[in-house]
A and B are shown apart, each in its own frame.
Chain A
Amino acid sequence: MKSFLLALLKSRSGLFGFVLVLVFILAALLAPYLGLPVPTRSSLVARMTAPTWTGLFSPGAHPLGTDELGRDILSRIIYGSRLTLTIAATAVVLGGIVGTLLGIVAGYYRGMVDRVLMRIVDIQLALPLMLLALLVIAALGPSTSNLIVVLALTSWLRYARIIRGQVLALREREFILSAHAIGASTWRIMIKHLLPNVMTPALVIATLELARIIIMDAALSFLGLGVQPPNPSWGRMLADGRVYISTAWWIVTFPGIAILITVLSVNLLGDWMRDYFDPKLRTSR
């Protein structure tokens, strides 16, 4: 952990990403203690208040303005990040684990296992993701956990396909043969020899996927299938705010910026982590 932080301090972009992610996480965790207005409390008098930077610490201040129901946007973004980040992170981790493992299994066993798994991937890729998500949610009903499952479902195949390709190449490498030669079990070969060597592509996909999933979550919320009102989520805020883009630009702009910064910082952090976990690059720092 110490070396991790030391290495992080040496990378400007990695540190930047790390700090931003940390700020988002802390803000989400500490939201109730920040003295923010209740995110769901509407106030008709304060409808669509433009952002004001005067009297920031007075109780009625809305630094990022209010939405069409007079709810404080800053508060909604911070409270919204709790749901959005939890949903996105869980979905990325879930999809990543399932996809990586299935990719390893397909690439390692080849043959029938591989063919079946890859056909499933092909079929799913042929279906529009949104349609799939709509179908599943329509069938299961909208809830946070269903949303996570659906998002993970749209995500695993990206890992599976790329990791499978990597494993196909890796399994011919001599260190895998060497593991067979000492009598290592299939499980050991997968976990100790294949997995560490596919972590880099998996991490790259994960950072891209996190961004995609946040946007997809927004899209689903936009269609009313994601987080249910009045709970705030970034996607929902975008969806609701779009109508007012010409009259009250802040309603839609600030959640958009929040998504942008999150995706950017995760990508920066991911890039750095990819290098960090590569022993070849680590010693050179």
Chain B
Amino acid sequence: MTKAPLLEIRNLTVAFDTPSGTVHAVNDVSYSIEEGETLGIVGESGSGKSVHALSMVGLIATPPGRIVRGEVIFNGRNLLALSQRELFDLRGREIGFVFQDPMTSLNPVLTIERQIAEPLRRHFGMSASQARIRVIELLELVGIPDAEQRARQYPHEFSGGMRQRVMIAIGISCNPKLLIADEATTALDVTVQAQILDLVRELKRKIGTTVIWITHDMGVVAGLADTVQVMYGGRIMESGPVRSVFYDPRGAYTWGLLKSLPHGERRGTNRLYQIPGNPPDLTQEPVGDPFAPRNPFATDRCRVETPPLVNAPDSVPGHKVAAWYDLRAEIQRMEGRP
């Protein structure tokens, strides 16, 4: 008998009503995540990768945001049916967050200790001294030296990387079942990013939290995730075990993204493969495969009918793709031609 997944999202659809029309930000997104898994969600701006995560815990402003339909079953409860009060108790306690910008996510006038202790005191009713012990434990866990002393300092006394460590400490402070990191290393320098990614891998080993890591960087996902999910135009285009998706992509978008990145070539070699066109206009009613206008392999069917996310033929279990075309056959045909 298989265990129920920790989080299951069914047909989540989110729209924003703006002066320029309705923005169809998330369209019919369904997936689930098992306990202990690390799910990497890749996508560019407007892919719905962040919005869908924020909307499931009530963190988008409504209006203009609007959850059109869908269910988010977390630990047996439908989050979309919870009251504000219940969501308030859930966030930080059962689902932790780490956001992109460590500069604006911390309150500049409160000490680091106060900020890490806040969820502890609220959710667990800890006393100041109890919380303090846990704060120092957490700071040591996220690799901040001189924790006792650093806890009394203010955010401006921390570097960007150190602040992001503090953010992670806040994210995991209540031992959440699920940690959602939204572009958590995007604002950091590459050397610092590497350290933070190391830290996350280490934390996974130590405390085994389930993680959803949202990023635009294929490289980050490659090193961190067990499963990867590629989003575009508010939809999941492809998902599956990370090796299978990276080494044997079946969606034209995933394939194009991987192909357009330089793989250590030097200049003067070929031009980079480029995905033609521009990101989709989300104010258009979504019809068909959102990537079809930029997909050289798109068929007529792609333009009118939305492909379902189904198991990719002849691939590992769990590798799913939403495509009407057969990418392998198309690539073969393209490469067969001079």
A contact residues vs B (CB 8 Å cutoff):
281, 283-284
Contact = CB atoms under 8 A, between A and B. Distances in A.
A283 B18 CA distance: 13
Pick the 6 closest A-B CB pairs, nearest first: A284-B20, A284-B19, A281-B19, A284-B21, A283-B20, A284-B18
Contacts of B19: 281, 284
B142 to A, nearest CB: 34
Interface string B12-25: 00000011110000
A127 B21 CA distance: 49
A283 B281 CA distance: 15
Contacts of B20: 283-284
A283 B20 CA distance: 8
Contacts of B21: 284
6 contacts: A281-B19, A283-B20, A284-B18, A284-B19, A284-B20, A284-B21
A168 to B, nearest CB: 21
Nearest to A275: B19
Nearest to B18: A284
A284 B18 CA distance: 9
B215 to A, nearest CB: 26
A217 B211 CA distance: 66
Contacts of A283: 20
A281 B18 CA distance: 10
A281 B21 CA distance: 11
A283 B19 CA distance: 10
Nearest to A283: B20
Nearest to A281: B19
Nearest to B19: A284
B20 to A, nearest CB: 4
A284 B281 CA distance: 14
Interface in B1-60: 18-21
Contacts of A281: 19
Contacts of A284: 18-21
A65 B21 CA distance: 51
A95 B92 CA distance: 53
A283 B283 CA distance: 13
Nearest to B20: A284
A281 B20 CA distance: 8
A41 to B, nearest CB: 53
A25 to B, nearest CB: 30
B79 to A, nearest CB: 32
A200 to B, nearest CB: 15
A27 B21 CA distance: 40
B18 to A, nearest CB: 8
B201 to A, nearest CB: 37
A281 B19 CA distance: 7
A209 B87 CA distance: 45
Nearest to A284: B20
Nearest to B21: A284
A223 B18 CA distance: 50
A284 B19 CA distance: 6
A29 to B, nearest CB: 36
Contacts of B18: 284
A4 to B, nearest CB: 19
B145 to A, nearest CB: 36
A161 B18 CA distance: 32
A11 to B, nearest CB: 12
